[in-house]
A and B are shown apart, each in its own frame.
Chain A
Amino acid sequence: MFTRTDDKITTSQAVVFLTNTVLGAGILTMPRSITKAMQTPDAWIAILLGGLLIMPVILIMVKLCQQFPGQTIFQFSGRIIGHIPAKLVCLLLIFYFLVIGGFEIRVLAEVTLFFLLESTPMWAIVLPFIWAGTYLVSGGINAIARVYQVVFPITIFVLLLSYGVSLRLFDINHLRPVLGEGFLPIFAGLKSSILIYAGCEVVLTIVAFMQHPGQAVKAMLGGIAIPFGLYLLTAIVVIGGLSIDTVITSTWPTLDLIRSFEVTGFFVERLEFPLMVIWLMQMFCNFCSFFYQASLGISQLFKLSIQPVIFALVPVIFLSAMAAKSIQDIFAVGDAIGMMSIGLFLLVTVPLLLIWLLRKKGDQIHG
């Protein structure tokens, strides 16, 4: 067929979709949140461990989805645990997506207000951003994945460039001693280091949209490996460049690192500007993912057409972004999202898979 009518995404698009969903606010805040919990320079070990923990989680989600080819969790959960419980579970997931979507926008607005548009009212930043997202999300998963594919290479390029240039501040002594206080702080940081992968629940729906679901395992692991690598790099570069004392006291340590040096003889002397640009675009991608997931969930759960659902969710997202009162609230929400992410995995994915396996076994025995 010359014209594709099915709304499927290619394997590379699926990889980028997951990457752009996970890679977001964490880039700017993660070094602080982990280091604060650990009080040692070993954040990178915590991230390494967190990454290793998240891989099997992703694997389990993919395996669960592959039992029901072409169906999202909103469609197949009913077949496992019955309609009413499934609705409850899915609503939980949708609520989670809405909260995290609002959270991303709020963080974006805070950073923009602080660095770019001082004394601008918050709604003036939030509203146009949501509307732009609405336009993209109305295009369906294919349009979203395509925008991600455009944004992704720019992000990677600028991110690696700024990290590369910031290596001039890098001091290996800032990262020492390794495991100076033993393994205990690592476990303290492990919680924060898993939180940065919040949002990986989109796996539960992306697999259904893949053109070649057989490659889902590879694609999803690849999709989580990219942010994993970037987060690891961020932690090493930021803590190595700033030392843990500065990192703990700074609100946006990564931006502070990039702001702290000048590249003379370059048109843009400080790389803070390109970093802000790609970060804003990245937040847009993040937000659109969650927005789309939430509207997809509601439309599939209640069998509504997706366009009105998208419109109806616009004010909900807006309220969820405006609800927090201070920056402390926002970080509290961020922590809560991380806990919800773990909770959802333990309460939704694992039971679903177990029940499915039991029922399958039962079917085989009873013939």
Chain B
Amino acid sequence: MSTMIEYIPDWSTWGMAGIALLVPILGHLLYQKVYHFIGTGTHLHDAAPTTPSEPSSEAGNTFSGNYDKDLCYIQDKLGANSDVCFREFTLHQLGVRGTLLYVDGMQNDRLLQLKIMTFLMYEATAEKLASPSTDEAGLPFLQLQEASNLDGFNHAILFGHFGLLIEGMPIGLLIEQPDARNRPILEPLSEALLRGPRVGFTEILSENTSMLRRQGMSDQLEITSYRVGTRMQRDLVLAYMKDLVNPDLLKEVQTRIERMDMDFFAESGYVEQLIEDNYLSPFQQVQNTERPDRVINALMEGRVAILLDGTPFALIVPATFSMLLQSPEDYYERWLPSSLLRIMRFGAAFLALMAPALYISFISFHPGLIPTELAISIIETRQGVPFPSLIEVLILEVAIEILREAGIRLPKPIGPAMGIVGGLIIGDAAVQAGIVSPFLVIVVAVTAISSFSIPTYSAGITLRMLRFIGMVFAAVLGIFGTILFFLLLCSHLSKLKSFGVPYLTPITPFRMRDWKDLFFRAPLSLMKRRPAMMKTQQNKRKS
């Protein structure tokens, strides 16, 4: 009995047991609180603020048929805008008045405008106007819609349509789609390739969808459209292969799109953040890309793409971890070099995440674990450094991060100059001054270069952020802390899902079939089936 009592731990151990209990509970509560706090912003209503865009017949003022009254109403509503032009004219064939309404800068084809005016003023006849959209006697415009109510008519004009109002007609006509100036199609800036198509998406949605269509001829590529935003509406489309995509996945994506509640969507990042599974995770669960070929490849695997008007970045769902380290080039080059490059990228990602943490744990805690001569030479170079290794690494890492951030802001001609000043001169001077050790400069440089080699920019940011957490773990518990950090990361990743697909597929849950496109990129002749994780309707790639 006395030996039993002897083994009952003392008070401090009991106290620590209490702490052991409190920390996870508090952590859990905090997590739940934050999660719900953020979550309330996402799913405020069960009602759907986003609607599939169909020709809307919303209630509003209908055209009275009285030309002066209608024009007065429109002028009342739109007249304050200096960029809305009212061009009044007389239709000479009929002898009635008409008004052409448009927003300055939205229609750019001067020749077309001239022709429209000529037609309206001198050629338009009564029977042509009587039934504008019929085949035989209709008006010779490619795009022609009849607006039945005044408010819809106003909306359309502000969005860039030509509006036409003619005396004696109880409707407004909308002719010619908006055709504002657009930038030329350029090579995607954030995802450059050596080999592969050089087109990138632009800001115009119709151009982007047409780029997708132009990738190949298929009647199965379906593009459905939504209006998003409660205050300023924007077009958003879902693109998918009708005969491939899993219907449950498609339904899930549609539900999440319809649940989004935001007054304006400035960029597809808004959509990404509102539909992702876990908004507290450091990892992105939606992939963004500017490359049409990447989108179409994803669609052929049974994924769904989301394109928003006004941004060149399309979203691909669901995303898995391995996608972040894959580049379209892997498939365009032959399989051996591609596999090699891909393995190298995985290694680079590991270095980008872990290298500073490993440096700290080796230097501060376990110099005995690295080869003796190496350890001696590193310690010799660190002789004059007055800081512990964590501070030393932080100084240089933060400097590099600032340099990188500054490099993005600077105009192109100055960028390289700053790289030289920042990277070379400061690095060298810091070593000379004895603030950091030369070996550390190597480590930090390798880390930075490794993180540049990650094909997805946003994945690179995630790793940069996590790197600092890893450094703290290493500074507290050495290699034990680093392993703990790795295990926590693994635990988090294995819990994470993107639209129902486990984030670490196909590593786990283990899907042998998908391993041929993971670390290795198997020869194309072996890629006979689509990824098992997508559960597509037809999984054969070849007939």
Q: Which residue of B lies closest to A3 (CB)?
A: B500
Q: Which residue of B lies closest to A134 (CB)?
A: B24
A139 & B13 in contact (Cβ 8 Å cutoff): no
For B23, list chain A residues within 8 Å (CB).
127, 131
Known contacts A131-B23, A149-B508; A117/B491 CB under 8 A: no
Q: Which residue of A lies closest to B492 (CB)?
A: A135
Known contacts A112-B480, A315-B21, A319-B17; A136/B491 CB under 8 A: yes
Q: Does B184 make an interface contact (CB < 8 A)?
A: no
A1 & B19 in contact (Cβ 8 Å cutoff): no
Min CB distance B248 to A, Å, is 4
Known contacts A125-B480, A131-B24, A318-B17; A3/B252 CB under 8 A: yes
Q: In the complex, A185 Cα to B80 Cα: how many Å?
A: 102
Checking B9, B477, B504, B510 against A323 with a beta-carbon cut-off of 8 angstroms, the contacting residue is B9
Checking A120, A130, A272 against B369 with a beta-carbon cut-off of 8 angstroms, the contacting residue is A272
For A261, list chain B residues within 8 Å (CB).
none
Q: In the complex, A149 Cα to B510 Cα: how many Å?
A: 8
* Contacting residues of chain B (237-260) with chain A, CB-CB under 8 angstroms: 246, 248-249, 252
Q: Does A362 make an interface contact (CB < 8 A)?
A: no
Interface size on A, residues (CB 8 A): 56
Q: In the complex, A322 Cα to B13 Cα: how many Å?
A: 8
Q: Does A273 make an interface contact (CB < 8 A)?
A: yes
For B365, list chain A residues within 8 Å (CB).
116-117
* Contacting residues of chain A (93-151) with chain B, CB-CB under 8 angstroms: 112, 116-117, 120, 123-125, 127-132, 134-136, 138-139, 143, 145-147, 149-151
For A316, list chain B residues within 8 Å (CB).
17
B480 & A151 in contact (Cβ 8 Å cutoff): no
Q: Does B25 make an interface contact (CB < 8 A)?
A: yes
What 1/0 flags go to B477-513 for Cβ under 8 Å of A? 1111101101110111011000110101001111000
Known contacts A2-B500, A3-B248; A319/B9 CB under 8 A: yes
Q: Does B30 make an interface contact (CB < 8 A)?
A: no
For B8, list chain A residues within 8 Å (CB).
323
B510 & A116 in contact (Cβ 8 Å cutoff): no
B488 & A132 in contact (Cβ 8 Å cutoff): yes
For A312, list chain B residues within 8 Å (CB).
21
Min CB distance A26 to B, Å, is 20
Q: In the complex, A145 Cα to B502 Cα: how many Å?
A: 12
Checking B28, B249, B366, B502 against A311 with a beta-carbon cut-off of 8 angstroms, the contacting residue is B28
Q: Does A260 make an interface contact (CB < 8 A)?
A: no
Q: Which residue of B lies closest to A279 (CB)?
A: B483
A150 & B494 in contact (Cβ 8 Å cutoff): yes
Q: Which residue of B lies closest to A263 (CB)?
A: B371
Min CB distance B238 to A, Å, is 16
Q: Which residue of A lies closest to B500 (CB)?
A: A3
Min CB distance B338 to A, Å, is 22
Known contacts A13-B509, A318-B16, A323-B7; A128/B477 CB under 8 A: yes
Checking A134, A143, A270, A311 against B495 with a beta-carbon cut-off of 8 angstroms, the contacting residue is A143
For A130, list chain B residues within 8 Å (CB).
20
Q: In the complex, A24 Cα to B78 Cα: how many Å?
A: 76
Q: Does A348 make an interface contact (CB < 8 A)?
A: no
SS of A interface (majority): helix
For A319, list chain B residues within 8 Å (CB).
9, 13-14, 17
Known contacts A132-B488, A149-B510; A116/B479 CB under 8 A: yes
Query: Which of B21, B365, B499 has the most CB atoms of chain A within a 10 A radius of its CB?
Result: B21
For B9, list chain A residues within 8 Å (CB).
319, 322-323
Q: In the complex, A145 Cα to B495 Cα: how many Å?
A: 10
Q: In the complex, A159 Cα to B14 Cα: how many Å?
A: 38
Q: In the complex, A110 Cα to B502 Cα: how many Å?
A: 36
Q: In the complex, A138 Cα to B23 Cα: how many Å?
A: 14
A281 & B483 in contact (Cβ 8 Å cutoff): yes
A314 & B509 in contact (Cβ 8 Å cutoff): no
Q: Which residue of A lies closest to B485 (CB)?
A: A132
Min CB distance B412 to A, Å, is 39
Q: Does B18 make an interface contact (CB < 8 A)?
A: yes
For A2, list chain B residues within 8 Å (CB).
246, 248-249, 252, 500, 535
For A215, list chain B residues within 8 Å (CB).
none
B369 & A273 in contact (Cβ 8 Å cutoff): yes
Query: Which of A12, A129, A312, A315 has the most CB atoms of chain B within a 10 A radius of its CB?
Result: A315
Q: Does A325 make an interface contact (CB < 8 A)?
A: yes
Q: In the complex, A124 Cα to B476 Cα: how many Å?
A: 10
Known contacts A3-B500, A311-B21, A319-B9; A139/B479 CB under 8 A: no
Known contacts A112-B480, A125-B480; A146/B252 CB under 8 A: no
Q: In the complex, A146 Cα to B501 Cα: how many Å?
A: 13
Known contacts A147-B491, A319-B9; A12/B484 CB under 8 A: no
Known contacts A129-B484, A135-B491, A318-B20; A1/B248 CB under 8 A: yes
Checking A112, A116, A146, A311 against B504 with a beta-carbon cut-off of 8 angstroms, the contacting residue is A146
For A149, list chain B residues within 8 Å (CB).
507-510
Q: In the complex, A3 Cα to B365 Cα: how many Å?
A: 45
Q: In the complex, A123 Cα to B14 Cα: how many Å?
A: 12
For B507, list chain A residues within 8 Å (CB).
149-150
A146 & B509 in contact (Cβ 8 Å cutoff): yes
For B16, list chain A residues within 8 Å (CB).
123, 127, 318, 322
What 1/0 flags go to A26-47 for Cβ under 8 Å of B? 0000000000000000000000
For B13, list chain A residues within 8 Å (CB).
123, 319, 322
For A181, list chain B residues within 8 Å (CB).
none
Q: Does A268 make an interface contact (CB < 8 A)?
A: yes
Min CB distance B39 to A, Å, is 18
Q: List 18 A-B contacts (CB under 8 A).
A: A2-B500, A125-B477, A125-B480, A132-B484, A134-B24, A135-B488, A138-B28, A143-B494, A143-B495, A145-B508, A146-B508, A147-B487, A150-B507, A270-B369, A272-B369, A273-B369, A318-B16, A325-B6
Closest 10 CB pairs of A and B: A3-B500, A146-B494, A2-B248, A149-B508, A315-B17, A136-B491, A146-B508, A269-B371, A139-B495, A273-B369
- Additional pairs, 7, CB under 8 Å, beyond known A2-B252, A135-B24, A149-B509: A131-B24, A135-B488, A147-B487, A150-B490, A150-B507, A273-B369, A281-B487
